[in-house]
Amino acid sequence: MEKKQPTYTQAIGEIEQILEKFNDSQMNVDELGAQVKRASELIKLCREKLRKAEAEVAEALKEE
């Protein structure tokens, strides 16, 4: 079963949590790699969602 993708807002929130943990030195070395990988995946997801939204807006404006 495929895991449901977070919304853009959820992804941004999770990225902010990861950054906060990192900035507050709450992240140990053992979890650093996994958290960086997760943040990278979330950033990629956000970029894809933004590109899709941009294309939808451009298409809607073109139809007018």
Q: Is residue 18 assigned to a domain?
A: yes
Q: Confidence band (pLDDT; 50, 70, 90) for 64?
A: low
Phi-psi region of 25 (alpha: psi -120 to 50; beta: other; left: phi over 0): left
Which amino acid is present at 46? C
Q: Is residue 56 assigned to a domain?
A: yes
pLDDT tens-digit series, residues 6-51:
999 999 999 999 999 989 888 888 899 999 999 999 999 999 999 9
Q: Is residue 19 assigned to a domain?
A: yes
What pLDDT was estimated at residue 2? 61
Cα–Cα dist 48/59, whole Å: 16
Q: Is residue 2 assigned to a domain?
A: no
Q: Is residue 16 assigned to a domain?
A: yes
Cα–Cα dist 57/53, whole Å: 6
The total domain count for the chain is: 1
Domain carrying residue 52: 8-63
Supply the pTM of this predicted model.
Answer: 0.82
SS3 2: coil
Q: Is residue 15 assigned to a domain?
A: yes
- Does residue 1 surpass a pLDDT of 70? no
Q: Is residue 1 assigned to a domain?
A: no
